[in-house]
Amino acid sequence: MAEQRYRVIKRLEAGGMAEVFVGEAQSVQGFKKKVAIKRVLPHLAENKNFIGMFLDEARLGARLSHANIVSVFDIGAADGTFFIVMEFIDGCNLKRIIESVRQQGRHFPIKEALYIAMETCRGLSYAHELADEEEQPLNLVHRDVSPPNILISKRGEVKVTDFGLAKATTQLETTDPGVVKGKFSYLSPEAALGEPTDARTDVFALGVVLWEMLAGRRLFLGETDYETVKLVQQANVPSLSRLNPDIDLDLEAVLGRALTQDKANRYQSAREMGDAIAGYLFSHQLKVTSYDIQTLVKTSLAQKVTATTSSGGTGHSIIDQLIQEELLRFTSLDELSAPDAIPTRVSDGAAPLDAGLFENPADWFARDSEVSAAVASASSPDSELPVPELADEVAPDDAPELSDMESIGELASLESAEVLIAEEAKDQKGGSKVGLMLGLMVVGALIAVGLYYLSMQQ
């Protein structure tokens, strides 16, 4: 029997396309390392187009090696599904911190917001400038820069994750012309118009994230996804100083250039935007380090404990056990002898922007309780905190209940996983009943034999 390489500890989060588990890598001489394991949901495992994009994400992630980007350690397959083994970030995502600050009824600290944006620029700049072995630029664009995809550790490290929508000129799976991907509120105007995107698209998205941190509200948010896209296309940005009196004109100018509708007038690179932020911090004598970020994370995680401990722990589900069995047969893709392991059923793939597919968008700031959307953030293993499921979220009384905006292709929900759990539980319950009936029949037979034997003695 092959040695087990990865062990599942607990389920972290799940979406319409994949689910993430906290796991443990095991090697020789008792070596263990905590990892995050991203697994394609079963109903997508046979979709050739989706698996192609998933493997593109993994291959790109394996190329990226930077302090501000979540590392990819391994790519594998087991029982017809696929896994990405990634660096585990012990902390939370930026979305959680923004919600935490809002719940405290205060503005996001300016210098901490600028530090997080500056560190994000470092990670994006590395990815944008990455070249292949022949020193040819890959022209990589993340295309989904948003609060859930910016992870922050308990040590104040800032890391970009989830390059699942990234596009590089060397990729086999490319986006069809006119197809819009990414969360609608964080699209750039050119992406919302279906035009070609480049590094300046990520600059605009990061500008939106920074603006929302400082404003304490969403920037582009319509009543429907279609209205949100129209707002992005127009790119009308309200004055920050009117929303936050601590914002001066110099900082507003920095944000204004990042959020310019015409990308020719925007920062031309993440490096340029990061340098502008650093210049503002220096000129205004604002001292900020990772230690300041640690305080934000600590406060956010403390609020997360308060919000989730009352609901009870989640424990190990039947799904977790099935995943563990699959990981026993985990095989790295470079060990596979043929490409036949990749399912061949062809799906419809991506579809052009269709107003009929739009749903009501989410107001992340109006929700008091939610699992972090980064691919690999979690609470400390020593704390043994329960992890809330996405389906159990409850919106606060003073806010409407809205669902998160996802990409157009992300139409599946956690209901499939819940149904599978229910079916498994039902099967086990039915099996238990059958076993009980057989046991009673055996006992009855033994009693009958005993009575017969006694009658013969008399």
CA 417, CA 300: separation in Å to the nearest integer?
A: 28
The alpha carbon dihedral of 99, 101, 103, 107 has a sign of: negative
Length of the chain: 458
Task: Give dist(CA 99, CA 91) in Å, integer.
Answer: 15
Known catalytic membership, residue 144: yes
Closest C-alpha to 347, from 81, 44, 53, 82: 44
Q: Tokens standing for 295? A: 């305080």
What are the φ and ψ backbone dihedral angles of 193, each rounded to 5 degrees?
-90, 0
User: How far does CA 272 lie from the centroid of its chain?
Assistant: 27
Q: In what order do the strands lie in the sheet with 158-160?
A: 158-160, 150-153, 89-93, 377-378
Sign of CA dihedral 353, 234, 404, 372: positive
Of 56, 74, 144, 225, the catalytic one is 144
Task: Give the distance, in angstroms, between the CA of residue 67 and the centroid of all CA atoms in the same chain.
Answer: 18
Residues annotated catalytic, as ranges:
144
